[in-house]
Structure 1
Amino acid sequence: MAVRKAEVRRRIVSKDGHNNVRINNVEGMVKLYLHDIWTTVVDMKWRYKLTLFASTFIMTWFIFGVFFYLISMGNGDFEATLSSNHTPCLENVKTFTGAFLFSLESQTTIGYGFRYITEDCPLAIFTLVAQLVITGLAEIFVTGAFLAKLARPKKRAETIKFSRCAVVCRRQGQLCLMIQVANMRKSPLIQCQLTGKLFHANVTQEGEKTQVHQTSVNFFVDSSSECPFLILPLTFYHILDERSPLAGLSAENLHSREMELLVTLNATMESTAATTQSRTSYVPGEILWGYEFKPVIFATAGGRYVADFNFFDKVQVSSDAAFLNNAEKLKLEENYKKE
């Protein structure tokens, strides 16, 4: 159990696709985030975004309410005794509450007509114009960021399911590493492409050691590197030949290798033509040697196909004779059943 925890802690990408890398000691991090304020606001969590959305309105109402209150105070509108020819800047505004309500009514274009600016107070007119321009831009920005987050296909990626484990067995006479991917919605994903990255330690010819080295891992469906659409669960495979970055992988050295396989599915949603991306990763403890996936797709008597996800993460011993007497296979099978 302690070994598994250590492996989880050392993941670069979690099983649900989240980044596990923590960034420390970056000088001027706040300044960098403010330089790209649009991305910062769009990437905010919903609770912060809703707070920002509400506070943008409330704070602008309050700030310009203070301005109008100070303008009226400077004009002497709140004095106890006023001359008969005194013209207030804001009619029917006697308190700060009235100034706040005038600011709210002006910005939201409610315009009850009870509180209004007189034409003898140019400073109040200028403040009103400035309020409408400034708050209009602020509201456009915040509302645009709000809608941009709603339109992001991030939630669509959550309906893409990867198999919990990868398997290694023979396919068409070649040793392959295979993973299974499924679309959980009826609307198909088109122009799908699965790419892989192998993270592992590396030593260059010059003797330079790198903690994390990335190597591309190609995945295929049948004889093509792309699939036209994803409407049924598909099995993607990577051939373990001499050109593979996983060349030399065997049941004996699988668990002793320090590596992590990141797989990313890029696809286009048919309904909106927006692109979506989903990812997961596999560590050696999640790669089963000598297994194959159980069938997931079944035909019904009514002429329809059914994808039964009760079998999606189920595996079975490979029927290939080369794996039947493998002691490591039996050990992995026993561990898998315990999970």
Structure 2
Amino acid sequence: MQVRPKRQLKNQQHWLAPKGVLQLPNSGVWHSYWSDPYHMLLTIPWSGFLLLIVLVYGMLNTLFALAYLAGGDSIANAQPGSFWDAFFFSVQTLASIGYGALYPQTLYANTVVTIEALVGLLGFAVVTGLAFARFSQSTARILFSRFAVVTRYNGMPTLMFRTANQRGNQIVEAQMWAYLLRDEISLEGQFMRRLYPLQLLRSQTPSFALTWTAIHPIDAESPLQGQTAESLAQLKAQIVVSLSGIDETVTQAVHARHLYQAQEILWNYQLVDIIHATKCGEYYIDFTHFHDVVPTEP
């Protein structure tokens, strides 16, 4: 009988997010984002990026409209003192549209137009570069199993989890690393978080196209030797997984990472087999049971 264990506890460690992204205290405050605006503009969601562009665009046109109004009747065919005429004249100038109905008629207005044209030239170049950089970022669509399991494999306790390539292409020269992250206190009483590598039976593959099951034997040299579900929880242990390779479509390096909390490491369970054979002898993968596990004998 298949079971789908529920996620038991959310990550309670404020400094490490569920996906393994380091979260430093106070790192979410506004000034930490604006201290590196280029990185922020590349990493915020597209909705936030477009909203920010619209806001900046509106603010620039508003400032230049006020500048035109400060020069008095400086725009031909515009209603004197009309903010909206000055605003839409600014839009035409900033975007180099120039319909011709409105045009500067004083030295002051021509000076402001010159400044705005330069700002528009530089602004559109920056936005175009940022949009291209966002589109050209190479990302990996890698799916990790919701749980890692500890089960017997070839007569030995073994840690297992699996990954899948959600794209239809291949990731060539793929490599995977796994680490145990845990709390420790030295003989001198100093607290630290220690990182131990977990040796995988197969840590690289020439072609990662469908699915890949990571296998770590818990032998005498394994950092997991002698551990239990309770001891890992007490040590606030986490399994950190990193996968990288080259996307054959864009020939660029891609990477993905995942984090298993102690509560997401299930003991005496095994992953449901998702590879099946047809009557013709061909194999296929059933991703509907990708996250399923079943209990085994202790």
TM-score tier (shorter): 0.7 to 0.9
- Higher relative CO (CA 8 A, sep ≥ 6), structure 1 or 2? 2
2:3 counterpart residue number: none
Give the Cα–Cα distance (whole angstroms) in 1 for the partners of residues 70 and 46 of structure 2: 36
1:46 counterpart residue number: 46
More strand by share: 2
Unpaired stretches in structure 1, ≥5 consecutive residues: 78-88, 319-323, 330-339
- Superposed CA deviations along residues 60-115 of structure 1, whole A, max 9, x for unmatched, are 222112212222x1xxx3xxxxxxxxxxx432223333222221112222211122
* Aligned amino acid, residue 285 of structure 2: A
Q: Aligned match of 1:102 in 89, 98, 120?
A: 89
> Number of residue pairs matched?
289
Q: Aligned match of 2:197 in 197, 208, 216?
A: 216
2:125 counterpart residue number: 140
Give the share of equivalent positions with the same residue, in percent: 26
Assess if the C-alpha contact under 8 Å between 1:56 and 1:138 holds in 2: no
Secondary structure of 2:240's partner? strand
The CA deviation at 1:236 is 1.0
The CA deviation at 1:36 is 1.5
Matched, 1:111 2:114: no
Secondary structure of 2:242's partner? strand
- Superposed CA deviations along residues 21-54 of structure 1, whole A, max 9, x for unmatched, are 4623x7x965543331111222223333222111
Assess if the C-alpha contact under 8 Å between 1:194 and 1:226 holds in 2: yes
Find the structure with the greater CA-based Rg: 1
Q: Cα 1:153–1:93, aligned 2, differ >3 Å: closer, same or farther?
A: same
- Superposed CA deviations along residues 301-327 of structure 1, whole A, max 9, x for unmatched, are 456431012332334566xxxxx5xxx
Give the Cα–Cα distance (whole angstroms) in 1 for the partners of residues 57 and 258 of structure 2: 40
Q: Aligned match of 1:202 in 175, 184, 200?
A: 184
The CA deviation at 1:240 is 1.9
Q: Cα 1:127–1:205, aligned 2, differ >3 Å: closer, same or farther?
A: same
Q: Cα 1:269–1:151, aligned 2, differ >3 Å: closer, same or farther?
A: same
Alignment TM-score, normalising by the size of structure 1: 0.73
Alignment TM-score, normalising by the size of structure 2: 0.82
The CA deviation at 1:131 is 0.6
Unpaired stretches in structure 2, ≥5 consecutive residues: 1-6
Give the Cα–Cα distance (whole angstroms) in 2 for the partners of residues 252 and 33 of structure 1: 38
Matched, 1:23 2:40: no
Instruction: Give every structure 1 segment of 4 or more consecutive aligned residues whose post-TM-superposition deviation is greater than 4 Å.
Output: 28-32, 250-257
